[in-house]
Structure 1
């Protein structure tokens, strides 16, 4: 038995037990309910403030060199979100849960937009400066400073490092390897080498290099993919009503899934929510780590929350839907086309001929590659919170790249199941924190709304108006105008303050 087989044999029972509890009983109910609750309390902010999501996507930081731009923060979070979950995860959801799984992905994404808004707004509020004067934050900081539960912050950070620093990078490599093998017959080893060669120079450049790379690659790839999907939809426009009807009927168990697979309500809902969360990450506590690194525009925590809510919209309601419709229109679902990347490639071959599978392989290379970069950015933020300095971050970088190589050879099921378990544990920690801090998020939203209603097109957060937050927030970030304070002062104690 080789090392890969031994690892899978050891992990499978543990992973299956965790998933059985979290995904069959807990998260499949908790996640949608949390999203519904936030949507109601915030007046369906994902609908009424949708225009503000677009306006917040600016390229600059207003002279505040401590943060990255809102556009870079969205691109980096999309780098993690837009990956194999959009091309492969959708195919897996369709294969197991039937067309109805797509409906539950939509539901999870719509309500998840409000959850994504809350977690990223809180991350902005409780962010700190690191030793270089750059903004850092995320669930660990709002758990530590907002809730006063440092043990929870540490546990979450460890889970995030394991999930995003290691496991999810293996998932991306695994799906890409399958696609490249189908398209060109390339052995997994060469795919692993290419991915590591692509990711290593950026990862070793740190968070800001990751943000710059994501800003260049992700918008271009997403637009090309959506343009192809739009062409498929337009060319099958008369079939759209039937496809939507099939999705809705299957969602409620009124019709079996294609090919005689089980398509009842429970299976469709379970797979739709699970694959939807893996794709858009709403409520998981991942995107807030990059949201906290941004200088929001306008300078209010809520504006960055809206930007990250828009990321959920792009990921699931646009890109995942595009993949689902292309598969459904192709007629390959329920045939011998396979599952995962193979199913998506066969669908593209129907629509675009021989170059369809090649396009998916190329798209997966960039989507998976940038996802590895985005995943690493999250893990680095968690490592900084735990006090990791140069040596610890170096080990994280090497370990992340090693997992990319391992993922190229591992079996699909164990890799995806391990990702589900890690994601579920993270989500439970984070959902507890955002629910406990929901009152803060609601007050921030009311402040943002009140300024807009008063005619202020650029709401600004004034920490002095929130004395109840005490010393839980870094008030110097929210009192000086962007660009007035660089955060360079006090570097000697910045790292300790970040953890405290």
Structure 2
């Protein structure tokens, strides 16, 4: 089993997804005419809009915060440190490139998720890749495979990974029992997830901006305190990305190492193209009432996750002088050492608390994705949700004190299959994304607030919910 899983991960993550995600990002960037740059102000406007007239969904801001709750995890702290240690400062440049391309991919998949959303038995919006695969491509079997993979990876195993990271951090910083940490985490998560999507969105709406602002504030303090070094540091990042920087102390790294580790870090962190964030994008009530507005919101999420938060971690480490080749100091420990340089003895504790917030919100955000997959599979009733919630809590307790590599590798393989299905789907539906985008932009240029009506695309009758998209 281990050999099979390793083989699948080599195929998915060594070839299919690394190149596939980049290629799809380039494709949508060109086809949508650099929408992530040209329409950046519109992204801000779409996030700040809020509709109180439709109680079936959550607000665009809540959708953004919930997707960020899942995106922003321990990878933003430990993963960036690993990328720097293995790839040198140049890895950060390639992380930026991947994020810029990923913004276009995230836009496409979330726009489709909005278009193909439905209402569940409780009258709440549901949607995601499984729905546009089944309805748009007439392939419900592929949607079912996608949903099962989503539940296994995001609903269960990845939450054990997050719990393990919290337990490790608290054990090292405060000496707290890992099992005890796991139990407390499970109970806290249970209180929130048993409240459903609305409760998760409400918690994310308050916690995510707070945790991101606090972390970015410390990074800004470090930058301000070392402002004289920043221009040279940025120059080294760019030069190292192309193998031009002198390998002073071995920090420059090779071109191949910088590119490989930067690309991987960017792809794993922002989740663009993975098919995860669209599940919460579909739950939102967009304002303007057009699928494209939610695509713009989730595109901004990639920017916040990678360009802001991952870059904050990178600058904290690079400006601290703690990045030493072959020292063995990497991951969370490297970030904690860097933070200690900037804010003193409180540094390791601050990182432990940051990991708690980042990882805990990932747990509840991941559950929100999995609940939508249950609805697609037809088992999203009270019993199905209760079973998933209890299973998630059990995985959190288990993950707090146990780390079984094979199980985690299996989740990676599951996510690899899920992402591959999603990438194929959004490329096949790219013509529809392009038409919706052109319609939205044309209405803005005409001075109107964009509105999408199902009657304007009669060929979609039977595929999309006519009632949802008939509102004037």
**What range is the shorter-chain TM-score in?**
over 0.9
1:431 is matched with which residue?
A: 423
Deviation of the 1:404 alpha carbon: 1.5
Deviation of the 1:282 alpha carbon: 0.4
**Mapping 1:293-304, distance limit 5 Å:** 293-304=283-294
Deviation of the 1:89 alpha carbon: 1.4
Deviation of the 1:193 alpha carbon: 1.8
1:247 is matched with which residue?
A: 237
Distance 1:62 1:168 in 2: 34
Rate the CA distance shift 1:162–1:434 in 2: closer, same or farther, 3 A: same
Rate the CA distance shift 1:259–1:399 in 2: closer, same or farther, 3 A: farther
Per-residue deviation, residues 349-391 of structure 1 (Å, max 9, x unmatched): 1111111111111111111111100000000100111011222
Tell me if 1:367 matches 2:354. no
Deviation of the 1:138 alpha carbon: 0.3
CA contact (8 A) 1:102 1:324 kept: yes
2:389 is matched with which residue?
A: 397
Q: TM-score, normalised by structure 1?
A: 0.90
Tell me if 1:476 matches 2:467. yes
Tell me if 1:150 matches 2:140. yes
Secondary structure of 2:462's aligned partner: helix
Rate the CA distance shift 1:334–1:15 in 2: closer, same or farther, 3 A: farther
1:88 is matched with which residue?
A: 78
- Higher alpha-carbon deviation: 307-316 or 267-276: 267-276
Q: TM-score, normalised by structure 2?
A: 0.95
CA contact (8 A) 1:143 1:149 kept: yes
Tell me if 1:205 matches 2:195. yes
CA contact (8 A) 2:243 2:252 kept: no
CA contact (8 A) 1:113 1:313 kept: yes
Distance 2:367 2:13 in 1: 25
**Mapping 1:378-457, distance limit 5 Å:** 378-388=369-379, 389-411=381-403, 417-456=409-448
**Mapping 1:123-134, distance limit 5 Å:** 123-134=113-124
Secondary structure of 2:273's aligned partner: coil
- Higher alpha-carbon deviation: 247-256 or 134-143: 247-256
Deviation of the 1:256 alpha carbon: 8.1
Per-residue deviation, residues 465-485 of structure 1 (Å, max 9, x unmatched): 11121211001101124xxxx
1:17 is matched with which residue?
A: 7
Rate the CA distance shift 1:259–1:206 in 2: closer, same or farther, 3 A: farther
Unpaired runs of 5+ in structure 2? none
CA contact (8 A) 1:98 1:257 kept: no
- Higher alpha-carbon deviation: 109-118 or 59-68: 59-68
2:458 is matched with which residue?
A: 467
**Mapping 1:178-257, distance limit 5 Å:** 178-254=168-244
2:313 is matched with which residue?
A: 323
Moved over 6 A (4+): 256-259
Rate the CA distance shift 1:21–1:261 in 2: closer, same or farther, 3 A: farther
Secondary structure of 1:181's aligned partner: helix
Deviation of the 1:185 alpha carbon: 2.1
Unpaired runs of 5+ in structure 1? 1-9, 482-500
Distance 2:242 2:200 in 1: 41
1:100 is matched with which residue?
A: 90
Per-residue deviation, residues 15-46 of structure 1 (Å, max 9, x unmatched): 32222112222211111111111011111111
Distance 1:26 1:472 in 2: 30
Distance 2:237 2:265 in 1: 16
- Higher alpha-carbon deviation: 120-129 or 328-337: 328-337
Distance 2:187 2:372 in 1: 23
Secondary structure of 1:408's aligned partner: helix
Tell me if 1:75 matches 2:65. yes
CA contact (8 A) 1:23 1:270 kept: no
Secondary structure of 1:160's aligned partner: helix
- Higher alpha-carbon deviation: 143-152 or 383-392: 383-392
Deviation of the 1:255 alpha carbon: 5.1
Rate the CA distance shift 1:257–1:99 in 2: closer, same or farther, 3 A: farther
2:278 is matched with which residue?
A: 288
Distance 2:258 2:276 in 1: 25
2:36 is matched with which residue?
A: 46
CA contact (8 A) 2:164 2:402 kept: yes
Deviation of the 1:148 alpha carbon: 0.4
Per-residue deviation, residues 101-141 of structure 1 (Å, max 9, x unmatched): 22221111101000000000000000000001100000000
Deviation of the 1:418 alpha carbon: 4.6
Secondary structure of 1:353's aligned partner: helix
CA contact (8 A) 2:50 2:286 kept: no
Rate the CA distance shift 1:441–1:211 in 2: closer, same or farther, 3 A: same
Deviation of the 1:98 alpha carbon: 2.4
Deviation of the 1:411 alpha carbon: 4.0
Computed over aligned residues only, the root mean square deviation of the Cα atoms, in angstroms, reads 1.9
CA contact (8 A) 1:96 1:261 kept: no
Deviation of the 1:439 alpha carbon: 0.3
- Higher alpha-carbon deviation: 26-35 or 315-324: 26-35
